[in-house]
Amino acid sequence: MAEKTIKLQCDDIPDGGAKIVAVNDKLKVAVFRVGDRCAAINNRCPHAGGALGEGAFDGTTVQCPLHGFKVDVWKGVGNAGKPVQKFPVAVKAGTVVITVPG
């Protein structure tokens, strides 16, 4: 399976918030924005499967709305060092480009 590139406008993501983007039937990506900086992680919480893009975000950490599991969106690491799938992001001229492996 080939990698996929997702493109969206920076303005489509609320500053200090997130936007959830469906890649396919099984994968959704939560894209977080602070100013002109963006991070993209798997939307599915590794602890309880909650939608991370719907959780409370403080600019660094998102909290899963189901059980409070916290994830550092910039590092792709959750509570107790549990990894969360993180995707490469580039912001160019107001466009956010996310690369999702196949």
CATH for 41: 2.102.10.10
| Domains contained in the chain, number | 1
Q: Tens digit of pLDDT for each residue in 10-64?
A: 999 999 999 999 999 999 999 999 999 999 999 999 988 999 999 999 999 999 9
Domain of residue 90: give its range.
4-100
Give the CA distances from residue 39 to residues 24, 25, 61, 67, 69, in Å, rounded to whole numbers and listed in that order. Answer: 19, 21, 11, 22, 18
